[in-house]
Chains A and B, each alone.
Chain A
Amino acid sequence: NAGVMQNPRHLVRRRGQEARLRCSPMKGHSHVYWYRQLPEEGLKFMVYLQKENIIDESGMPKERFSAEFPKEGPSILRIQQVVRGDSAAYFCASSPGWGNQPQHFGDGTRLSIL
C-alpha cells in the first residue's frame, strides 16, 4: 500500500498521559498536514509541515500539542497530558508540493481518552 499510513488506528489513553500519533506520507511527498475531526464535524486544520520545518501551526492549541517531521522517519503529532476533550479522529494528509496540489489522506487515528 503506497498510501498515507497512520498508526496506531486506535489509541486509548487515560487523562494525564501522553499520546503519540504517527504518519508516514505517500512516497515522494514531502508536505504533511494534520487535521482533527470531532463527531458530526468537518476536519479542522492543525499544522502543516515540510521535512524538518513547521510551516504553519496556526490550528494547533498553544499548549500540550506539538508536531514534528524529521529528516528521517514519520511525522509525529504529540499530545501531552491528554484531557477528555482531546478525544477525536486525527487525520494526516500528504502532498507532493505547493500550489493546488491534492492532499491524500490516511485512515486516521481514533484517540479515546478515559
Chain B
Amino acid sequence: TQLLEQSPQFLSIQEGENLTVYCNSSSVFSSLQWYRQEPGEGPVLLVTVVTGGEVKKLKRLTFQFGDARKDSSLHITAAQPGDTGLYLCAGILTQGGSEKLVFGKGMKLTVNP
C-alpha cells in the first residue's frame, strides 16, 4: 500500500513551461518534505513544510502544504533543463517512539531545451 501518491509520475516539457506535481495521502503527517534526486546520487532536500496551508517559495519553485496536512504540491515556473530530475515527496511518520520518512514513488521530470 502506497501511503503517498504522486502525480504525474512522468512529465516531459519544453523549457519555459510551468508545471505542478501533486502529492496526496489519506494520512496526516506532522510535516512533509520535498526532495530532488539526480541519477547516481542521493536525494537532496528542497523544503520542509510543517503548518497546514503553508506556502514556501524557493526561487522558481513554490511548495504548498494542504490545510489538513494530507497533501502537498510543487509548482515550477519557467522550467529549465537544469530542473530535470526525480522529485520525491516524503511524509514524516511518527509512531511508537520511532520517526521515519514515507516516500512517494516520485515524479520524473525532463525539461527539453
Q: Measuring CB to CB, which residues of chain A are less than 8 angstroms from any residue of chain B?
A: 4, 33, 35, 40-45, 48, 55-56, 58-59, 91, 93, 98-100, 102-108
CB <8 Å contact, A43 and B43: yes
- Count chain B residues whose beta carbon lies closer than 8 angstroms to a beta carbon of A: 28
CB nearest neighbor in B for A33: B100
CB <8 Å contact, B30 and A91: no
Give the contacts of B27-59 with A (CB-CB under 8 A): 30-31, 33, 35, 40-45, 48, 50
Given A42-B88, A42-B106, A43-B88, residue A103 in contact with residue B101 (CB < 8 A): yes
Query: A58 vs B99: C-alpha distance in the bound complex, in angstroms?
Result: 11
Given A33-B101, A45-B100, A48-B100, residue A100 in contact with residue B88 (CB < 8 A): no
In the complex, what residues of A have CB within 8 A of residue B104's CB? 42
Shortest Cβ distance from B39 into chain A, in angstroms? 10
Given A42-B88, A42-B106, residue A106 in contact with residue B42 (CB < 8 A): yes
CB nearest neighbor in A for B47: A102
Q: Measuring CB to CB, which residues of chain B are less than 8 angstroms from any residue of chain A?
A: 4, 6, 30-31, 33, 35, 40-45, 48, 50, 88, 90, 92, 96-106
Shortest Cβ distance from B34 into chain A, in angstroms? 11
CB <8 Å contact, B44 and A105: yes
CB <8 Å contact, A41 and B100: no
Supply 14 A–B pairs (Cβ within 8 Å), ascending by A. Answer: A33-B100, A35-B101, A42-B90, A48-B98, A56-B96, A58-B98, A100-B30, A100-B48, A100-B92, A102-B48, A103-B101, A105-B42, A107-B41, A108-B41
